[in-house]
């Protein structure tokens, strides 16, 4: 009984000392954040919300460090709208300008997602200028040529995972009429999080936490155990006194 009470105290205390750092996540994004935080030595857990989305929580003392770390890693990744997402619910009477804008957004979203799948790329932004055809042009050249601008943020401390030429080829192959030379690429490393105290994760029963959190929970568990032991001794003493009082009241033979 005492052991179960101590375990409940440890679990409740661990949950109560945590704070959410991101909510409304898909499970894949939550898992990616958990993996990154665990590798950085920050204990984290996920929980499912009532609406089916997920929330990532860390210890209150690790909130600032966790947010800084996730920012440098470009996590959670923003949702990229592809062709299937943008054209899922078409407008009633779309104009030509609206259709071009939606098509450019969907195409840029697909290319961004592809670039973010490259190991070492924390964030990718793609801006597209689609070619505008000139019906009166005799040579068939577009009035505005296709162009693209790409911004890549790489994870700090890692080499550039993809060359500029490969980025140009990938983007040009994804956009009709776009030449690799018309793709501008900027690669910048993400700012590293400030160095903080390095405390590895330690195990305490089914939980994993920092050493400071473990010491706090053990101290609280010891205090709870001492309190329960004192209550048990008090109950035993009272029971003996009641039994002695009843024995004195009983008449002799």
Please provide residue 74's backbone torsions phi and psi, each rounded to the nearest 5 degrees.
70, 30
- Its pTM stands at 0.54
Residue ranges of the alpha helices (H) in 40-143? 63-73, 83-86, 96-116
Residue 32: predicted pLDDT: 86
Residue 136: predicted pLDDT: 64
Work out the burial of residue 242: count CB atoms within 10 Å of its CB; fewer than 13 is exposed, 13-18 middle, 19 or more buried: exposed
Which residue did the predictor score with more confidence, 153 or 210? Answer: 153
Among the listed residues 12, 71, 11, 14, the one whose alpha carbon sits nearest the alpha carbon of residue 37: 71
Average pLDDT over residues 145-151: 94
The CA distance from 188 to 156, in Å, is: 9
Average pLDDT over residues 142-154: 90
Average pLDDT over residues 60-81: 81
Three-state secondary structure call for residue 127: strand
Give tens-digit pLDDT for 74-127: 888 776 655 555 555 556 667 777 788 888 888 998 999 899 889 888 889 999
Which residue did the predictor score with more confidence, 176 or 191? Answer: 176
The two tokens of residue 12 are 């409740």
Give tens-digit pLDDT for 213-225: 677 778 888 888 8
The CA distance from 191 to 250, in Å, is: 83
């Amino acid at each position: 009984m005492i052991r179960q009470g101590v375990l409940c105290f440890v679990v409740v205390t661990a949950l109560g000392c945590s704070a959410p750092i991101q909510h409304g996540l898909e499970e894949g994004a939550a898992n990616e954040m958990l993996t990154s935080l665990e590798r950085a030595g920050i204990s984290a857990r996920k929980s499912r919300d009532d609406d089916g989305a997920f929330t990532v929580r860390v210890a209150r003392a690790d909130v600032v460090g966790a947010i800084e770390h996730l920012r440098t890693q470009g996590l959670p990744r923003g949702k990229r709208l592809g062709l299937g997402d943008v054209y899922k619910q078409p407008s009633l009477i779309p104009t030509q300008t609206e259709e071009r804008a939606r098509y450019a957004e969907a195409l840029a979203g697909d290319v961004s997602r592809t670039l973010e799948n490259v190991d070492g790329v924390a964030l990718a932004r793609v801006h597209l200028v689609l070619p505008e055809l000139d019906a009166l042009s005799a040579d068939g050249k577009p009035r505005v040529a296709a162009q693209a601008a790409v911004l890549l943020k790489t994870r700090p401390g890692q080499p550039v995972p993809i060359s500029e030429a490969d980025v140009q080829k990938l983007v040009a192959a994804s956009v009709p009429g776009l030449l690799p030379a018309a793709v501008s690429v900027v690669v910048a490393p993400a700012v590293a999080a400030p160095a903080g105290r390095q405390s590895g994760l330690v195990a305490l029963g089914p939980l994993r936490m920092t050493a400071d959190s473990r010491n706090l929970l053990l101290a609280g568990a010891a205090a709870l155990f001492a309190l329960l032991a004192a209550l048990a001794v008090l109950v035993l003493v009272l029971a003996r006194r009641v039994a002695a009082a009843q024995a004195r009241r009983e008449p002799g033979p």
